[in-house]
């Protein structure tokens, strides 16, 4: 029989993503509505080990749904990877009477939760908060839509200056070793080439494409590169282009962490609210140690120990679409 919970803790861990605050808000208000006490844990597992915890009320999450970042802060905690660190965290939860956790983060945060739950029988629920969209078992991760829209807005502006000067711009977007931000933003902005980790980059094909466009007097070109692309990112691509096409005026723009900030989009607020609500409902119903995802517009519950990074290959059809639409 599943353990009943009465006091739950919520934390954000790993990289921040827009929409985390909306998820926190949903967890707090759903918990209070159901008669639970809800505690905010600052700076992820680090704050748990250091007992940086406070009781949250409904007003604690007022006016945060539209804010980027996370009011609970976030950090990566090496100590939690040790048995000693997890033991200390458990003792603090015991002292405070907290008997369930909601972890908003990525696959690394979930791996920590799996170990912790196995060792001390603490029910944990995971919510995917990552701009990379690299968690298997869900069509959405909190922050991805906002990050893509931020990238699209930036690339649109870059195209304006590229057009004014007849330049090639090579733009690097985030995503670690997942190419979803590059693919989505590249298609949405009409990029001539999109380089992603899921597809082998043939730099000679890229050069040939640029040469063909130059013959047709198409002088404005954008290449969107995922930071985890095997060729080495935007600077390495630019170096290869300069070596082979020295006459081409080339600029590099690395968008970086602006993709993590800013007010979350409507979609990110909606999915964060929905996931936060179902995370608490799962704890109450006894559906413990799962990750809450959304697939085909339905809630999908995956055991935390089965959660892994998405390693699916992006279909050739998408890349064919890119090639045809950029021709």
Name the residues annotated as catalytic: 132
Query: Do the annotations mark residue 28 as ligand-binding?
Result: yes
Helix (H) or strand (E) holding 225: strand 221-226
Query: Do the annotations mark residue 259 as ligand-binding?
Result: yes
Query: Do the annotations mark residue 15 as ligand-binding?
Result: yes
Query: Do the annotations mark residue 131 as ligand-binding?
Result: yes
Helix, strand, coil: what percent of the chain each, to 5? 45, 20, 35
Tell me if residue 226 falls in helix, strand or coil: strand
Vertex 273, ends 277 and 129: CA angle to 5°? 100
Query: Do the annotations mark residue 244 as ligand-binding?
Result: no
Q: CA–CA separation, 75 vs 322, rounded Å?
A: 37
Contacts 24+ apart (CB under 8 A), 32-37: 32/57, 32/58, 34/280, 34/284, 36/5, 36/6, 36/7, 36/8, 36/280, 36/284, 37/6, 37/7, 37/8
Query: Do the annotations mark residue 176 as ligand-binding?
Result: yes
Query: Do the annotations mark residue 175 as ligand-binding?
Result: yes
Query: Do the annotations mark residue 190 as ligand-binding?
Result: yes
Query: Do the annotations mark residue 159 as ligand-binding?
Result: yes
Query: Do the annotations mark residue 85 as ligand-binding?
Result: no
Closest CA to 323 of 152, 183, 220: 183
Query: Do the annotations mark residue 219 as ligand-binding?
Result: yes
Query: Do the annotations mark residue 257 as ligand-binding?
Result: yes
Over 153-196, what HEC string results? HHHHHHHHHHHHHCCEEEEEECCCCCCHHHHHHHHHCCCCEEEC
Query: Do the annotations mark residue 260 as ligand-binding?
Result: yes
Helix (H) or strand (E) holding 122: none
Output the six-digit token pair for 215. 């013959």
Query: Do the annotations mark residue 7 as ligand-binding?
Result: no
Q: Residues annotated as binding site for ATP?
A: 15, 76-77, 106-109
Q: Residues annotated as binding site?
A: 15, 25-29, 76-77, 106-109, 130-132, 159, 167, 174-176, 190-192, 216, 218-220, 227, 251, 257-260
Q: Residues annotated as binding site for ADP?
A: 25-29, 159, 190-192, 216, 218-220
Q: Residues annotated as binding site for substrate?
A: 130-132, 167, 174-176, 227, 251, 257-260
């Amino acid at each position: 029989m599943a353990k009943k919970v009465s006091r739950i803790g919520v934390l954000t861990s790993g990289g921040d993503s827009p929409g985390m605050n909306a998820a926190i808000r949903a967890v707090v208000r759903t918990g209070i509505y159901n008669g639970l006490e809800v505690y905010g844990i600052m700076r992820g597992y680090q704050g748990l080990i250091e007992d940086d915890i406070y009781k949250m009320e409904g007003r604690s999450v007022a006016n945060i749904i539209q804010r980027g970042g996370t009011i609970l802060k976030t950090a990566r905690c090496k100590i939690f990877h040790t048995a000693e660190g997890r033991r200390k965290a458990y003792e603090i939860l015991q002292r405070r009477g907290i008997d369930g956790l909601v972890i908003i983060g990525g696959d690394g945060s979930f791996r920590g939760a799996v170990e912790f739950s196995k060792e001390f029988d603490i029910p944990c629920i995971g919510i995917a908060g990552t701009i990379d969209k690299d968690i298997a078992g869900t069509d959405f991760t909190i922050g991805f839509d906002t990050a893509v829209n931020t990238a699209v807005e930036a690339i649109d502006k870059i195209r304006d200056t590229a057009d004014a000067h007849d330049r090639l711009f090579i733009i690097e977007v985030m995503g670690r070793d997942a190419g979803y931000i590059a693919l989505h933003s590249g298609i949405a902005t009409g990029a001539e080439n999109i380089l992603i980790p899921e597809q082998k980059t043939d730099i000679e094909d890229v050069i040939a494409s640029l040469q063909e466009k130059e013959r047709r007097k198409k002088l404005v070109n954008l290449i969107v590169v995922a930071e985890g692309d095997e060729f080495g990112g935007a600077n390495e691509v630019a170096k290869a282009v300069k070596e082979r096409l020295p006459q081409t005026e080339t600029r590099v723009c690395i968008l970086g962490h602006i993709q993590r900030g800013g007010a979350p989009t409507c979609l990110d607020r909606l999915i964060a609210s929905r996931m936060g609500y179902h995370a608490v409902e799962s704890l109450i119903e006894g559906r413990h140690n799962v990750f809450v995802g959304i697939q085909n517009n339905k809630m999908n519950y995956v055991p935390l120990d089965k959660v892994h990074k998405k390693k699916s290959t992006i279909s050739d059809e998408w890349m064919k679409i890119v090639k045809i639409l950029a021709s």
